[in-house]
Structures are given as C-alpha cells and as structure tokens.
Structure 1
Amino acid sequence: MKQLWDISPTVSPASPIFPGDEPYALRWTAQLSPGCPVNLSALTMSPHVGAHADAPLHYGNDQPSAAEVDLQAYVGPCRVIHAIDCGPLIQIEHVQHAEKDLPERVLVRCCRQASEVWNPEFTAYAPETVAWLAARGVKLIGLDTPSVDPADSKSLDSHQQLLRLNLRVLENLVLDAVPEGDYELIALPLKLAGACASPVRAVLRAI
C-alpha cells in the first residue's frame, strides 16, 4: 500500500469558522433501543467548515455549484510547496523555487501548524501568484488556511482570479506533516445541489 497523508482537519463544534458562518452541529434523530435498530444523526454546518472546495458560485452569480463542477481538477498529480511563515500573502517568489515541471495541482503549506482556533491573521494568496500558477498550467490551488483572500478583503481579488482563470480551490487543509514534493491528490467535493462549496476528505498518496 502506498502511503497516505490525510490533509483534512477533524470537523467538530470547535472547528474555527469565519465570524457569522454556520458552525458544525450534530443531533441524534434516532438511537439504538429495543424499538429502533439504528443510530441516526442530522448535521447542520456551513460547507466552508473544515477542508472544503469552493464552488464558482461562491464568488460569482450564475456560476456552477458544488454539484456542477468538473471533478477532474480534484484528482491527480499534485505538488506541495512550502512557504512557511511567508507573511500575509503568498507571493510568486515564495513558490518560484518549485516551478519546474509543475503538475496541474499545487498546494502551499503556509503554517508551521494548522490553527485550531479562528485567527484572522492568516496567510492568503496574492492574486498575481494565482495568475502566475495558472499561466504554468495549474488547474487547482490550495492552502492550509481558511481562504485564498485575507479575512478582511471585500474585493476578494484572488477568488476573482480563480473565476477569471477557471481554477478550482481547496481551503483549510492540514499540511503539517507533508514534506515538500509531488503526490497524487484525491479531494472530491460532494454533489450538493445549489451549494456554494462542499466539504472534502482530502488525501495525498505517495507516487
């Protein structure tokens, strides 16, 4: 068996979320008893809790929902690039050292350790870096922070680059234990009709 790296955080009521977003909650609708043969639960949560794939609908009206995105971008060769403690934005200079023969999927590790509490001072992508990666054939980008744009951004420049360049994105990954290098990514979004995003169980597999 090839080694797997689980790059998804555990989703729980304590999962950090953007202020005002819907937290994860679970309730039991049925429980094992003499008159009931199963446990059944119901969930409420924003699709942006934990590791997730934004759908284009998240940042553009009349764009594809989570159920409508092409899955090809979410499976295949992937490069993990380290830009730990690079500052507020991932600049081109932080990823340029890994430019040679870039695969279509790039994940950037920014954190020494993924945060387990909400902290608005996280690292995001500079929009110029998104464009630079797309120009080199990249179809999906990701990172180990809550968003490709800063928490206080109103223009969402990097999200708008994703829309303009038809890129897919993964956010809130956990890359703490992943060495820089090449892997196979598997991070399929759920087929959620009308949803602006979807949770993913993201994994990397050795190649």
Structure 2
Amino acid sequence: MIIDISRTLNQNTPTWPGDTPFSYELSWSKAETGSVNVGQFTTSCHTATHIDAPYHFNDSGLTVDQLPLDLYVGDVLVVDVSTKGRISPDELKLVDLSNVRRVILKTSAWKDPSYFPTEIPILEPSLGQFFRENGVELIGVDLPSVDPLESKTLDAHHAFEANNIHILEGLNLEEVEAGEYRLTALPLKVEGADGSPVRAILETK
C-alpha cells in the first residue's frame, strides 16, 4: 500500500510568513493554443513538503543537485513522539535504530494544515550526534522546520549538517502509524537550489 505523506500545493497552502506563496495558473489554455493547456507555478523552495539542502543555511553547503539521491529512497523508521514538547536523545533511547538509515519523527504538532503553525516541538541539536552514532543519515519531520520557528541561529540544522544528516520537512503523517516503511521523497534536480518540493510517499512493507 502507498501512503501519500505530501502536503497539497495550492493557493491556500500556508508558507513561512513573508515567504513566496504557492500559485499556479494557466499561461495558455487549450482554447488559446488549439492543442494544449500550459501552466506555470511559483513557490518558495520551502513550501509544504520539501527537503533542505545544506546550502539553505550554509553558503558552502551542498545544493539540491549535488545531494546523493539514495538518501531519499529506501527503508525508513517512523517514530511517534507526538506527546513530546522537546525531543532529545533521551526520548529515543529505547528505539531500536539497528540498521536504520532514515528516521521520520511524527510529532502531530501541525494541527491545522490550512494554517502555518505558531508553535512546534523543539528538536535538540544533540540529536545530530546521536543519529550519526546510530547510523542515521536522513531525518524527516511533520513540521515546517527542525528548528524553532523564531530561530536565526538554526542550531539543529547546523548540528545535523555537521553530522552528515540530511533534512526532510513538512511531511503529512496524519494517516501514518509508527513502524517500518519504504520512503520515496526525491527532490527536483534544480541546479544551485537551497531546497526543493518533493512528492513524498511511504510504502508498507
């Protein structure tokens, strides 16, 4: 079974305050061209379900087109941390991360998908080292960011990069239970980009 864990992109999709909202419109209609509809869309790279490239927060970091694609396809463990306001290694110490390369944290904190959240759980930067020591290379969240919304230092982003852990944000996990799945969440091949929307799915094993 395939579970779509992407958020819908439309004119009502919430985005970071002040960032470029998503829009789609027809440039030419079939009536005008006589053969096809041709549309265009405009959006921030960090709207809805997306990956962060390290270049997003590090001028010397990898851009989207430089990322290893195998990170975004493969087995993943979904961990339910929906009762936690702060997520640290202590909350995950009982989770078996043996042979786990990808982890998705289900926080259930983004209650209304039509509005940008005003508060989200805190992911402690110490998770970076913890995940690296356990062999994790990709962290996904059902939040717009792995850092507090008001953060300018982006400590968790930098801690994950320092430990070679890549970031997938804005997942929709409402219909997903904790457990093992196969993830596909490929970014667009946009040269020089700091992030990219993805169509993220989970397949039951």
With normalisation by structure 2, the TM-score equals 0.94
Change (3 A) 1:114 1:172: farther
Q: Secondary structure at the match of 2:65?
A: coil
Q: Report what 2:51 is aligned to.
A: 53
- In the aligned structure 2, how far is the partner of 1:124 from the partner of 1:98? 19
Correspondent of 2:28 among 27, 30, 33? 30
Correspondent of 2:100 among 98, 103, 109? 103
Map 1:125-204; keep pairs closer than 5 Å: 125-204=123-202
Correspondent of 1:16 among 14, 17, 20? 14
Identity of aligned residues (%): 33
The number of residues matched between the two structures is 204
Unaligned runs of 5+ in 2: none
**CA displacement 1:73-115 (0-9 Å, x = unmatched):** 111110000000311x322222223234251000000016653
Aligned-residue Cα RMSD (Å) equals 1.5
- In the aligned structure 2, how far is the partner of 1:123 from the partner of 1:112? 7
Shift of 1:179: 1.1
Output the amino acid matched with 1:78.
V
**CA displacement 1:131-166 (0-9 Å, x = unmatched):** 211210000001101000000111100000122112
CA contact (8 A) 1:114 1:174 kept: no
Shift of 1:62: 2.3
Change (3 A) 1:35 1:201: closer
- The runs of 4+ residues in structure 1 deviating greater than 6 Å are none
